[in-house]
Each structure stands twice: as structure tokens, then as C-alpha cells.
A and B are shown apart, each in its own frame.
Chain A
Amino acid sequence: MKGHQRLRWERALDSEAIWPLMAGFGALYLAFFVGYPVIYNLIMSVQQVTLGNISTVFRPFVGLDNYRKLVDDPLFATVFQNTLIFVTGNVALQFLGGLALALFFQAAFPGAAFFRGMILAGWILPPLVIGAVWKWLLASDNGVINYALRGLGIVSGPIYWLSDPATSLIGVTFANVWFGVPFNMILLAAGLAGLPQDMYEAAALDGAGPVRRFFALTLPMLQPTIYALLALTTIYTMRAFDLIWTMTHGGPVDSSNIFPVWSYHLSFELFDFGGGAAVSTMMLVVVFIVALIYVRSVRTERVS
């Protein structure tokens, strides 16, 4: 009896009749957990929101005023530029670092798997802790990094990593790259492990050296993984908040202020909820475009 019932279940799950149900569930999930907050945020960004009316949906409509105010704010250009540098720097360096490590650990030396696992530890730590640790490392007077640089004779005086507006963005980028490299490494390592080995043997027989094999085989075959990774890293970096908040609070003089930090500052420190929502919406548009490019690139990949 029991076996019979299970068979019926399996048949039901296999039948095409269940597809609408599955799709319906997916759509419902998306609408509730993704669509609702996005639309709620969008609505907030065109309203005048105060603590007094935040619990209702019907608030004074102000059109694009919140957006206009943001763009007119002298901070906008600074924050925009910072975000651009922070995201580009992170995506590039995290990818290169991750790729280098993944290739390195591909070599089967004793303990390779162990060390690769240990590197992942950095990614498990909460960003608040990473921020605090990097803040100590980068401290200008008694930080380890300056101590090392001076000890090696690379610099004569201290570098004011976080307290100099010219370098603070570099400082927080460093910390975030360190944070993101393990994730990049593990995805790329998984991608590398899935590549067919016989191709490499054939290429080696044909006389292709390691460099040639890397550019002619590894990179093209890894392409889907790389696209996915670049998209994911962009999205992750676009919402980096805790780390910068701990390290610099966006300062000095907003030199390490990026969109998520600004959004938080507007909403929760200045009580400008409409402005904060507008910043979030702008970030969302960027993330959406990145996701779209990724999805399209994966699609053309399949067709070809």
C-alpha cells in the first residue's frame, strides 16, 4: 500500500500537470519576498516619508523630488565616484586574487586542500569583525602594516591609510578584497575542477605550454563561471556596508562614502527616509542591469 502511494506521488510530480503549480509557487515567492520590498521601496522613494506616516502606505506624493534632491547634493558626485572605484576595484582584484589562489591550490601539493579550506575562514567572519581587525592593521601610528612597510624600508613615514582622504577608499577596498577573495577562489576552484582533463592532455601532447593552455583552454571553458562570479561580486560589493561603517563611517570628509553607507545615513541618521529609499532604488537599478547582462550572457552561451 505504502509503495503504491509513493509511486503515485512520483508520477504526479513527473506529470506536466504539476508545472503550473510549481511556476505559481515560484511566482508567489518572488512577488512576496522580492517584489513587495522592491515596490515598497520604490513607492517610498517618490513620497515624503516621516516617522509620523512611515507605518502607512498613503503618504504625500512628491514625484521625483527625492531623486532631484540627491542629484543636486554636492555629495552625489563624490559618492558616485567612490562607489564606482570601490566596486570596480573590488570586482577586479577579488577576481584576480581568487583566480591566482584557485590555480595555485590546483597543484596537488601536500596540504593543498587544508590550506584552501583555511583561506575560506576569512569569508566566514562577520564583516564587523573584519572591519575592526583591518582598522587595527591599517592604523597609521601603531598598525602592523605601516610597521612592516617602514621596517622593510619601503616608506619612511607612516601612511595614513584610513585617515587620509586620498587613501581611505584604498584602505577599505583592501579589507573588502581580502574578505571577498576566498569566495571567488572557491567558485573558481569548483569551476576548474569541472573542466575535462583529457583536453589538457591532448593540448599538452600537441605542444601547448602552460600559458597557452591557460589562455586557450582554461579561460574560455571557465567563461560561464567567470560571468556568474563577476555578476555576484558586483552585487555583493554594491551592498558593502558594515565593513566601511566600522572602519571609517564613510569619512574622512566622505572620502570612503559609498551608496549603501549614504542610504543608511540618510534613512537612519538624518530621518530622510524618502532620500534613503531613492538611493536604494538607484542601487537596485544598477544591480538589476548587472543581473540582466549576466542572464543574457549565459543565454547566448547556451545557444552557441
Chain B
Amino acid sequence: MRREFLKQSVALGALAMLGGARSAAAADPVTMWHIFGAETEPGLKNITRWNETHPDQPIDQKFVPFGQLSQQLIKGIATGDVPDLITIDNPVVASFATQGALEDLTDLVKASSFIKPDEYYPGSWATTLWDGKQYAVPGEANTLALYYNADMFKARGLDPEAPPRTWEALRKAAEILTDKDKNVFGMAFCAIQSEEGTFQFLPFLQQSGATLKTLTSPDAVAALQLWTDFVAKGQASRDVLVKRQFEMTSSWLAGASGMVVSGPWELQRMKEVKFNWRVAPLPHREGKGIEASALGGYVWGVPKGARNKAAAFKVIEFMSEPAQMLQAWSGGRLAPVKTMQVEHPAMPEAYATFRKQMEVARPRGPHPRWPDISAAMQTAIQEALTGKSTPEAALQKASRVITPILDRTPIVGL
């Protein structure tokens, strides 16, 4: 889950042209489509490193905005024009894999001396497998936590050193921070009708003790009720229904909310924040004590029909070395390998919090029909938050769509 900016695309367009011009002269380039938009992206730095150390086989790169990644890959497959290497959003790997769009990397990964599966966060690694085969390798990871405005906490009599650790405390804090006269909401999150909405809701569903298989349970209802109450009581803006994650974070940065659920990719913007802020792990539900967060990030895949599979895998191995992987933090993302740790990270407290969240971050799926499952969840969230249905009814409807899908093809470990 990343935000994308026009500004960044423009900057990158210029960069991509430079890169393209340089590699055009080379003998046998590895073609790569990636989502590294901003100039400061560690991914771009890593590409430059590769090019410097591998002048005989440089990377011929093309930037594709995150939101257009699937679309571009589909077009590429349809016209037979695919790159050797591509970054893929982790929940759609299974869809691409089952439809035969990705090369099987099982043997290459087994033989690799750089990529060791047991060193990765299990959630991250799980997103790259389907049906016992390896279709991708995690490139980076991100997750969700609770950002909060420490100044606002203090001003409202809340202890900035003790962020809400339970749902009950979260409800309370949201209520106290809400100031209707000043148009300030206590709580903010993203419930948009897109993958981002599902991404943000799933951790709450998991904390409740429910899963996608038990959507009609009182636990699942409690999770959706929590979100619904925030909106119904005016403690979260109704605009959570149409605003994307980066837009909700922008509102929080502007002081329009006291807390916001967001990811480490926003840390770049925190350098210019005027108020004191902190980031805390997502709360858990009292009586359950389940810690859970979301798992985002891209993975490296080799599209079927790629010309240069072997060279592409060499690039994957290079990008999986600690020197490259640990760069992720400078772009506000994490290495998907738990044994790798940045030594003197910028924003050490935030780094520790997000690494802690990575321990409990759960993958979306993997499932070839994840997009359908996600769409049903989005509808349920939106129906409940708009008041069109009760949380119970909305989840029952979602369950009628999701249960048959999971009965046919279950999610491993669910």
C-alpha cells in the first residue's frame, strides 16, 4: 500500500528517461517495471547500485504507478510485451500465479544462497507461495500502526505516553479528542471502496477473534461495529468512505483528527510536522488480547514469457542482500526479512513500533480470488458505515459471497 503523487511521477519520468538512455547502449539489459515513484525511493538507489556493479547487464527500468501495476502487467501479457522482472502488490500474486502469468521460481529459490525462506517474516513469505510453488520473492514490507498527535493528547488531558492499547481505550480517546466545534475528529482510518479499505479493516477483524470464515460471528460484528460507531458518533469523518489512506493522513497532518491508522510510508512526511507526534501499535480487543496488523508491500515476480529469467533472478538475489534490503527504511518501508535490522535507524521509535507490528502482520490471502473476497468486504464495510445495513446484515451478505469461494479453495492456515 503506497501513496502516489503526480509530482513524483513527473520526477520519476525524468529519471526513467535518464536510466533508459544509459542502458540502451548496453548489450543485454534486464528489463524491469517497478513502482519506485519518488526520487528518494531506495529501490531506485538499488537499481543504480546494480548498474554500477554489473555494467555488462544493466537494468532497463520503467516506472509504473502503483495503482496501474496490475493493469500494465495484464496489458503486457495480452500483447506479449512483458519485462523480465516486475514488482507486484502482494495480495494479487496468487491471482496472477493461478492464471499462469508468473514463472515458477521454486527451484531457483531453493538453490539460492542469498534467499533463505526461514529468515523472512512468515506473512511476507506466504504471499509469494501458491499451491506449494514459489512464484515471487518478497521485496519489501509495510504494515499499519496508530499515529497520534501528542500535543492534542496533552491538550485534551490524555497521556501522550500512554496511547490506547485496547479497543475500549481507543473508543475513549476518540471520544475525548473529538471537538465538533473545531471540526476535529478523534479517529481516522480508511474505509474506501478499494483494496485500501480492506487492508485497513482486516487487522480489526483479526483482533476481534474472527476470520474471513467466521464473518457472521459476534466477534466479526464487533469489529465492524467499532468502525461504524466511530462514524455514527461523529468521532470519525464520513469522508473515510471516499478518502484514500494518504488523504486521511493528510487530514491528520492538518490537525483535522487526533489519531489515524496509517503505515510507515508516511514517515517521510512526518519530518515537516508542526506538532509532536507518536506512532503506537494498533490496539487489541479486551478479553481477546490478539495483536494483529496488516501486511502490505511488493514482491518480485518474473512474468511468464520473460526473455531473461536467469538474469532477472540474479537481480532478485542482489536486491535481497542486506545492503539493499535495509535501504527500505529510508523510503519508509521495512525489510521483509526479520533477521535484518537497521543499525542506527532514523526515527528509531517508529522503526521499533513498525517492526513490532510486522511480527503480527497477517497476509491478505493468499488466494487467487482475493480481489473478489476483498470487494465483498469493501461492500460490507461501506454498507455498515453509511448506515445502509447493520454490521450484522452487511457481514452476512459478505459471508454469502466469501464462504463459497473459501469452501472451494481455502486459504492455507485459516
Contacts and interface: CB of A to CB of B under 8 A. Distances in A.
A253 B386 contact: yes
Nearest to B397: A74
Interface stretch (A31-39, A134-142, A281-289): A134-142
Given A163-B239, A164-B386, A249-B192, A141 B185 contact: yes
B239 A249 contact: no
B256 A271 contact: no
A76 interface: no
B340 to A, nearest CB: 33
Nearest to A250: B193
B79 A55 contact: yes
Nearest to A271: B95
Contact of B242 (A50, A51, A163): A163
Interface string B366-379: 00000110010011
Contacts of B254: 142
A97 interface: no
Contacts, number: 99
B241 A268 contact: no
A270 B378 CA distance: 13
B193 A142 contact: no
B100 A269 contact: no
A251 B237 contact: no
Contacts of B251: 142
A163 B195 CA distance: 17
A251 B99 contact: no
A135 B242 contact: yes
A248 B96 contact: no
Interface string A147-191: 000000000000010111100100000000000000000000000
A286 B77 CA distance: 30
Interface string B198-242: 000000000000000000000000000000000000000111111
B6 A269 contact: no
Contact of B382 (A50, A52, A253): A253
A54 interface: yes
A252 interface: yes
Nearest to B303: A51
Contacts of B32: none
B183 A251 contact: no
B74 A51 contact: yes
Given A141-B237, A252-B386, A51 B375 contact: no
Given A164-B386, A253-B193, A253-B379, A140 B71 contact: no
A252 B74 contact: no
B99 A51 contact: yes
A141 B74 contact: no
B78 interface: yes
A135 to B, nearest CB: 7
Contacts of A51: 74, 77, 95-96, 99-101
Interface in B251-278: 251, 254, 256
A128 interface: yes
A176 to B, nearest CB: 16
Nearest to A44: B78
A55 B77 contact: yes
Contacts of B71: 268
Interface string A257-270: 00000000101111
B101 A52 contact: yes
Contacts of B49: none
Contact of A270 (B99, B185, B375, B385): B375
Interface in B95-144: 95-96, 99-101
Q: SS class of chain A's interface: helix, strand, loop or mixed? A: loop
B242 A162 contact: yes
Contacts of A251: 192-193, 241-242, 378, 382
A276 to B, nearest CB: 10
A129 B71 CA distance: 21
A44 to B, nearest CB: 10
B241 A163 contact: yes
B1 to A, nearest CB: 14
Nearest to A52: B100
A128 B4 CA distance: 12
Contacts of B183: 141-142
B193 A162 contact: no
Given A253-B383, A253-B386, A270-B371, A247 B100 contact: no
Given A164-B386, A251-B241, A52 B371 contact: no
A51 B70 CA distance: 11
Contacts of A128: 6
Contact of B78 (A54, A129, A164): A54
B8 to A, nearest CB: 14
A164 B193 contact: no
A160 B238 contact: yes
Contacts of A253: 193, 379, 382-383, 386, 388
Contacts of A142: 183, 251, 254, 256
B86 to A, nearest CB: 13
B80 interface: yes
A254 interface: yes
B242 A247 contact: yes
Contacts of A269: 70, 195, 371, 375
B288 to A, nearest CB: 29
B71 to A, nearest CB: 4
Interface string B65-98: 0000011001001111000000000000001100
A54 B242 contact: no
B83 to A, nearest CB: 15
5 contacts: A52-B101, A55-B80, A163-B239, A248-B242, A251-B382
